[in-house]
Amino acid sequence: MKWSTEVPVRQGEPLIDYQKPVVLLGSCFAAHLGAKLAHFQFQELTNPLGVLYHPKAIETLIGRSLAGRWYTADDFIQNQGLWRNFEAHSDLAGPDLNQAVTLHNESLQALSEGLKMASHIVITLGTAFVYQLLSSGNWVGNCQKMPASLFEKQLMDPGQLEESLLKALSKIREVNPGVQFLMTVSPVRHVRDGLVENQRSKAHLLTAVHKLADSAHVQYFPAYEIMMDELRDYRFYKPDLVHPNAMAIDYIWERFKASWIDPDLTPVLEEVDRIRKGLAHRPLHADSEAHRNFRIKLEGQIKELVGRYPFMDFS
């Protein structure tokens, strides 16, 4: 007996392996995927300028980073004691202006280098609603806790979304012609926009993304459909009833791994996971001979694995 319909997932090509980095940009679901890749010691770069929810924000940062248009103090505003940048997430805000500028530019540099080196770039879109700063006409990635009266909120249509994404992908292809793009739509519901409005927004994103997925260099992973169809039960959500919980994230990761991670790496992933669990183990008797032998064996396993994959870091 089957308890849910299974969403078919296309086999990825080329597969993700340990040889080249993966860049993940977009909503907090991109951060979840990035955390899974980081756990298994893949070379990954996830949202160096923080979570981004819509294509315009992603397009802006990709263009800025690849053009080397570094931030200056004029790009920052002070609010609630922190220096903030409308193009980045508030996680990068700080009380010292010079330090905030430096951190944002270091993150831009990391993004630029990652985009040029990546074998795969995963873009997860959260919403088709965008905010435009009235004083400048610029699209913002984050409103930085500023009054809503400073912005105009708009719902982008599928054509506008497709155009924005195409501009971003084209800029990346100029510096990394062989990169594989993987698009997803976040299963996180933006209920603050309203439930009906959220569905309209997701529909616009899905329409735009599937137009792009007709390209040989753009493929689609159905994270949104898996959450909405296979996991259509509130037991798969956090208490806020909006965000997928750990069980849902683990399930979607397993579907992602089955379709996009080289299966020849399965023994390595299992080895990395065992080491992670071993390092997280908290013994009752840390000074016992048994624990010392356990640590010696674990350190030997780490040394052997890092010998094969020098970029791995278990410190």
User: What is the per-residue pLDDT across 260-289, written as a single tens digit (0 to 9) for each?
Assistant: 999 999 999 999 999 999 998 887 777 888
Residue 42 pLDDT greater than 80, yes or no: yes
> What pLDDT does residue 283 have?
79
Count CB atoms within 10 A of the CB of residue 283: 12
Q: For a pLDDT cut of 70, what percent of the chain falls above it?
A: 99
> What pLDDT does residue 281 have?
83
User: What is the per-residue pLDDT across 5-16, written as a single tens digit (0 to 9) for each?
Assistant: 899 999 999 999
> What pLDDT does residue 2 have?
74
For residue 190, give both structure tokens: 């933006």
Buried b (16+ CB within 10 A) or exposed e, 73-93: eebbeeeeebbbbbbbbbebb
Range in 165-169, 232-236, 279-283 the model is least confident about: 279-283
Residue 132 pLDDT greater than 80, yes or no: yes
User: What is the per-residue pLDDT across 61-100, written as a single tens digit (0 to 9) for each?
Assistant: 999 999 999 999 999 999 999 999 999 999 999 999 999 9
> What pLDDT does residue 114 have?
98
> What pLDDT does residue 185 have?
97
The full set of domain ranges for the chain reads 22-261, 264-315
Provide the mean pLDDT of the chain. 94
Across the range 199-221, mean pLDDT stands at: 91
CA angle, 212 then 70 then 125, to 5°: 25
Alpha-carbon distances, residue 294 vs 42, 298, 301, 315 (angstroms): 25, 6, 11, 17
Across the range 180-206, mean pLDDT stands at: 95
> What pLDDT does residue 5 have?
85
The domain made up of 22-261 has a fold known as: Rossmann fold (3.40.50)
The residue among 95, 288, 58 whose CA lies nearest residue 183 is 58
Residue 216 pLDDT greater than 80, yes or no: no
Taking the whole predicted model, whether its pTM rises above 0.75 is answered as: yes
- CA torsion angle 52 257 42 279 (round to 10): 110
Phi, psi of 186 (to 5 degrees): -65, 135
Residue 231 CB burial class (10 angstroms; 0-12, 13-18, ≥19): buried
The residue among 183, 47, 37, 180 whose CA lies nearest residue 119 is 180
Question: Could you write out the three-class secondary structure of 70-109?
Answer: CCCHHHCEEECCEEECCCCCHHHCECCHHHHHHHHHHHHH
> What pLDDT does residue 217 have?
80
Range in 37-51, 185-199, 282-296 the model is least confident about: 282-296
